[in-house]
Amino acid sequence: MTGNFGSPNPTQPLSVGNVVSAGLRLYRSHLKDYFLLALKAYVWILVPVYGWAKFYALSALISRLAFGDLVDQPESIPSGQRFVNSRLWQFLLALLLLFLIGIGIGLGVIIFSALLGVLSAVLLGGVGQQGNPVIYFVFILIAFALGIVLFLSVMWLLTRLYLVDLPLAVEEGIEATSAISRSWELTQGHVWRILLISFVGFLITLPIQIVVQIITSILQAVFLPLIQDGNTIFALLYFVLVLLLSFSGGALLVPFWQSIKAVIYYDLRSRREGLGLKLRDREI
């Protein structure tokens, strides 16, 4: 990728197309290295707690390496791995904090839904004998609108935490709590653009997800009759094949998303901190 992907005015954000294009080119130019890192990260998932921290750190390492290309400071994988490994427990703590925040959001959704259910029972119960279809229609519209507001609110909150792993993997003097604050700061005012970028990225990765799902369905159709006959060997083989397929599919997708995240992170920093987004003048 040659040239400068930033706009003439460094305070102007990159377009959605530029962010996705830059992420794709970074992904393609380092596909082998990023894929192997992501595959290694997925293998660590099998190890409880410590392995989960390793997965998060190795995923963040991909973004760190991509960010190094963006700022014209390329870094070797061993060097980057030493840095993220030095913060391994901070990655674990960040995961725990995000998990707790997720529980809080989930409880909020449950409480909101329960209140909506109680309200619907009271209102519809009170007018039920009248059988007025207009009342039912209005209430359905209100419930639908509230559902959309709830969904968008949850997406807004989750997007504000989108970049937590980047400061931990890139910046000095960052810990788990300050990484969350840093993500909140960087994403302020840019939530909907990040969501649009994510949607475009989802459309790009959809074919891979469809292929993986098709192969999984084929494996299921082939092995399920054999497993139902009580053959444990085929059951074990089916489990291993599905696990390998899931890990391989994930290892193809994670580097793409981490590359996109690196471009978003740098784009936001470039406008807040006066950095210019310039990619190295080579085949990225």
pLDDT at 5: 39
Q: Give the model's pLDDT for residue 2.
A: 37
pLDDT at 278: 46
The DSSP line for 3-20 is S--S-SSTTSPPPHHHHH
Residue 185's pLDDT is what?
A: 93
Nearest to 87 by CA among 61, 48, 49: 61
Q: State the residue for tokens 């209100």.
A: 142
Q: What is the pLDDT of residue 141?
A: 85
How many angstroms separate the CA atoms of 262 and 254, rounded? 12
DSSP code per residue over 62-127: HHHHHHHHHTT----HHHHHHHHHTTHHHHHHHHHHHHHHHHHHHHHHHHHHHHHHHHHHHHHHHH
**Whole-angstrom distance, CA of residue 93 vs CA of residue 91:** 5
- Report d(CA 85, CA 235) in Å as an integer: 36
Task: From 149, 150, 257, select the one nearest 209 (Cα to Cα).
Answer: 257
Per-residue pLDDT of the chain (284 residues; tens, 9 = 90+): 333 434 334 445 678 889 999 999 999 999 999 999 999 999 999 999 999 999 999 999 999 999 999 988 999 999 999 999 999 999 999 999 999 999 999 999 899 888 887 877 776 665 554 556 777 777 778 888 888 999 999 999 999 999 999 999 999 989 999 999 999 999 998 999 999 999 999 999 999 999 999 999 998 888 888 787 777 888 888 899 999 999 999 999 999 999 999 999 999 998 877 665 444 333 33
Residue type, 106: G
Distance from C-alpha of 243 to C-alpha of 237, rounded to nearest angstrom: 10
How confident is the model at residue 233, as a pLDDT? Answer: 85
CA 145/CA 228 separation, integer angstroms: 46
pTM of the full structure? 0.85
